[in-house]
Amino acid sequence: MLTMTDIVKTFPGTRACNGASLQVAAGEVHCLLGENGAGKSTMMKILSGSYTADSGTITLGGTPMTFASPIDGVRAGINTIYQELDLVPDLTVAQNLFLGHEPRRGPFVHRRERDERAAAAITRVGGTFSPTAVVGELSVSDQQLTAIAKALTTDARIVVMDEPSATLTDHDLAAVFRVIRELTAAGRSVIYISHRLDEVKEIGDRATVMRDGATVGVFDIASVTKEQLVESMIGRAVQARPPRRHNPGSGPLLHVRRAAIPGVIDISDITVGRGEIVGLAGLGGAGRSTLLATIFGDRKADLDMTLGEEHIVALTPRTAVGLGIGLVPEDRKRQGLFLEQSILRNAAIAALKPWRVNPMARAREVCHSPLSRLGVKFASVDQPVGQLSGGNQQKVVLAKWMARGIDLLLLDEPTRGLDIGAKADLFEQVHALADAGVGVLMASSELSELTENCNRIWVLHEGRNIAEYQPLTTPSADIARCIVTGRTKYAND
Amino acid sequence: MTDLIDRTANPEPAAVTPKSRRRGIIMRFNLLFIFIALFVVASVSAPQFLTTQNMANLLQQSSLTGIVAIGMTVVILTSGIDLSVGSVAALSGMLVAIFIGVGLPWPVAMALAIGSGLVLGGVMGGLSAYLVLPAFMVTLAGMQSIRGMTYLTTNGTPTTAEIPMGLRFLGAGSVAGIPVVGIIFVATTLIVGFVLRRTTFGEHIYAVGSNAQAARLSGLPVQRITTAAYVICGGLAALTGVLLTARLTIGQPTANTGLELDAIAAVVLGGTSLFGGKGGVLGTFIAVLLLSVLRNLFNLLGLSSFFQMLVTGLILIAALIMNYLIDRQSKSAA
């Protein structure tokens, strides 16, 4: 149905695509795999018309196509759901879904019809929010569902999903998979980009693997192992995972006796010891991010906690940083980085002492070590951080706190959109920090990530911390059940 | 002008590293290039241009706007705007004349007048930062009410004062043929440039302008930093007002009308992004001189100020297009 052949696309300084090819059949879920920077997103932007390829051909249903702009892509029946959600935050869900093709009666928008059709589209993707809700006020997960519903309101022949699961909870993902199956059953094709091979195995029919801008393999997913896919992606055999840590922590660090925001969260008695990594699991909206934001002073709450010797009932991000707390926020571009500023500035900003002359000279040395230990790939520390890949950007956010020196590290979805290599680099340093006595509290919607890295896992449900698990002694399935149902095994008995 | 666009459209194919830095230099270099070209054109086409007298005049004229533009650069770097600078300058110009009139020693009168600018800047910046009010509206309101306050000081009439020699010297004197206000302008540029590039406070200004939310979550005192930017801007505007009164020996409540637009134009022409986080005072400095040379040239050639307005506008548009092209280049490289 779709064939992209010998695609070349060069940007100043880099060649993003170098003879890449992709063939997608009608009615299949075709997975596009590769590490960050392998050229997947560039290929999809060429397909959608956002970029124009330097050379190469695209044929759709046997007809050669040239896309000069995203409109051409949409007209040809290609609809892309980007990683960066292209929704208008101040408009309602219904307004967003039909932006540009509103149901009309004469010159007027037919509001009722729009709301009804929007409600149907939301239900179809498994959402439970109202079509008249303002998009900016929805959770990230619901926003992602809105973006998917939007792609379905146009009659697309090919739907491109760029890492939808990065922001979705497992529960929402199930609904999205159901939609994908409906689409393919109707003869549509889905191009699915993800770093999570479990999903790829579950939903995909075939996979194209890209590396360094070129296509290195096409696999039939039913007959390939995850290890083979990874090997193809990174170009070498996968090393066995380092053994899980059993560091029980060395003395108390953080004790959140109470953190409550009426109607949002009601948390009691969560502790993090020095050198301990504690996980926060839960569905989207369960309160994980809100709890982290509360501990960091970014959300006002009824708070009662102890950090080291300090008894805290109210704080701001500024005082939190002063107390030795660092937060790696959920949305690194909006909350974590100064995109057009240099890598050095980004890494150094929290470590600069006030009223100093020429603080950057010293910062250059202070930041060198964390940046190199994290394996940030850059040409120069004076390069704008926005030019880095997502994984390297996230490493810079972590480097900021390593350069500053902290006692408590809060991680909110730290591996969102990261490839396998970048994840490993990141966790290696998180473990190194823990070994040095830093307490870590980490929220993640990937349960495997929590069970592999945490000493203990708290499950949050509807704003409450309902159960604590030891991943070494509890089967993941039990934790997963608790996350979804909000009931512990014992409560059922 | 074609050079300006060609250079940005075809950047040298360089390695990723120094590219952004080189681009920054190219951007500044372009402005400097235009400035030098204009300077040469002016020297050739108007023989009086390169005289010491004219040079001194030129510096004298550009310095007052220049000092305000330097303060404005700091505010715009935080992604703010200050529309009240003209009114603040007028008020402080009135105040210094009035204070001297009632017999205060001139350094005290000057300090009080500049203090008024610092306070007003602090109030407006504080309202904008702590209550999250749009700076555009707060300073627009400030522009109106401070101008009103200025008229109220003397019920709208100018006030004359015996300006003491010391203050006269600051406003109209010269050292070795160089106007003192010019020296103050250069010194202001150097000091503010140093603060922006070589201090923690300067780093914080860029961080806040680049992404205020990320700055807050990095533990920076964002509201204090933002307020401080307006305090600096208000103080420099007030200094300008004092210097103008010192030169004219009269406090004019109508003085400095439209000063904010001249200052903003110079800042933007100098390559500072209105969205904050990008730019600096060197660009502003060159832009201020460029705009004055242009004005001076038109005056010497006997062309009307209408031409001057038209060409100034066109230059601004060209500068914006240049910034757009540079931005697009660096984005597509990401």
Q: What is the DSSP string of B136-181?
A: HHHHHHHHHHHHHHHHHHHTT--EE----HHHHHHHH-EETTEEHH
Residue B329's SS3 state is: helix
How much is the ipTM here? 0.81
Q: What is the domain range of residue B118?
A: 2-333
Distances (CA, A) of A337 to A211, A228, B18, B211: 27, 35, 21, 7
Range among A183-197, A316-330, B3-17, B308-322 with highest mean pLDDT value: A316-330
Q: Do A310 and A449 share a domain, yes or no?
A: yes
Q: Do A361 and A333 share a domain, yes or no?
A: yes
Average pLDDT over residues A135-158: 83
The residue type of A217 is: G
Q: Tell me, what's the pLDDT at B179? A: 94
Q: Which of B21, B77, B216, B217 is best to mutate for the A interface (most A CBs within 10 A)?
A: B217
Task: Say which of A13, A356, A386 has its CB closest to residue B16.
Answer: A13
Give domain status of residue A361, yes or no.
yes
Task: Say which of A327, A345, A358 has its CB closest to residue B198.
Answer: A358
Contacts of B330 in chain A (CB under 8 A): 340, 384, 386-387
Q: Do A312 and A227 share a domain, yes or no?
A: no
- Residue B134: Cβ within 10 Å count: 11
What is the C-alpha to C-alpha distance for residues A409 and A421, in angstroms, rounded to an integer? 21
Report the number of distinct structural domains present in chain B: 1
Task: Say which of B199, B216, B220 has its CB closest to residue A359.
Answer: B199
Distances (CA, A) of B272 to A117, A334, A401: 46, 21, 29
pTM: 0.80
> What CATH number is associated with residue A167?
3.40.50.300
Q: Tell me, what's the pLDDT at A128? A: 87
Counting residues of chain B whose pLDDT is more than 70, the rounded percentage is 89
Number of Cβ pairs < 8 A linking chain A and chain B: 120
Q: Do A431 and A470 share a domain, yes or no?
A: yes
Give domain status of residue A212, yes or no.
yes
Query: Per the CB < 8 Å rule, is B329 touching A12?
Result: yes
Q: Do A181 and A78 share a domain, yes or no?
A: yes
Average pLDDT over residues A295-317: 93
Average pLDDT over residues B145-152: 96
Q: Do A28 and A112 share a domain, yes or no?
A: yes
Residue A483: band (very low, low, confident or very high) from pLDDT cuts 50, 70, 90: confident
Q: Which of A341, A353, A406 is best to mutate for the B interface (most B CBs within 10 A)?
A: A341
Please tell me the distance in Å from A73's CA to the nearest CA on chain B.
19
Give domain status of residue A242, yes or no.
no
Give domain status of residue A343, yes or no.
yes
What is the C-alpha to C-alpha distance for residues A281 and A445, in angstroms, rounded to an integer? 6
Give domain status of residue A151, yes or no.
yes
Contacts of A322 in chain B (CB under 8 A): 219
Q: Do A304 and A355 share a domain, yes or no?
A: yes
Interface check A396 vs B, CB under 8 A:
no
Q: Do A450 and A327 share a domain, yes or no?
A: yes
Give domain status of residue A395, yes or no.
yes
Q: Which of A234, A269, A290 is the last residue of a domain?
A: A234
Please tell me the distance in Å from B49's CA to the nearest CA on chain A.
40
Residue with the larger pLDDT of the pair B189 and A138: B189
Interface check A366 vs B, CB under 8 A:
no
Q: What is the domain range of residue A70?
A: 2-234
pLDDT per residue over B195-240, tens digit each? 999 999 999 999 999 999 999 999 999 999 999 999 999 999 999 9
Report the number of distinct structural domains present in chain A: 2
Average pLDDT over residues A451-465: 91
Q: Do A184 and A258 share a domain, yes or no?
A: no
Residue with the larger pLDDT of the pair B162 and B131: B131
Residue of A nearest to B208 (CA): A338
Q: Do A51 and A148 share a domain, yes or no?
A: yes
Residue with the larger pLDDT of the pair B206 and A16: B206
> What CATH number is associated with residue B152?
1.10.3470
Counting residues of chain A whose pLDDT is more than 90, the rounded percentage is 37
Query: Per the CB < 8 Å rule, is B214 touching A379?
Result: no
Q: Do A274 and A225 share a domain, yes or no?
A: no
Residue of A nearest to B211 (CA): A338
Give domain status of residue A428, yes or no.
yes
Q: Are B276 and B78 in contact (CB under 8 A)?
A: yes
Query: Per the CB < 8 Å rule, is A387 touching B16?
Result: yes
Q: Do A280 and A215 share a domain, yes or no?
A: no
Residue with the larger pLDDT of the pair B75 and A177: B75
Q: Tell me, what's the pLDDT at B28? A: 52
Q: Tell me, what's the pLDDT at B26? A: 62
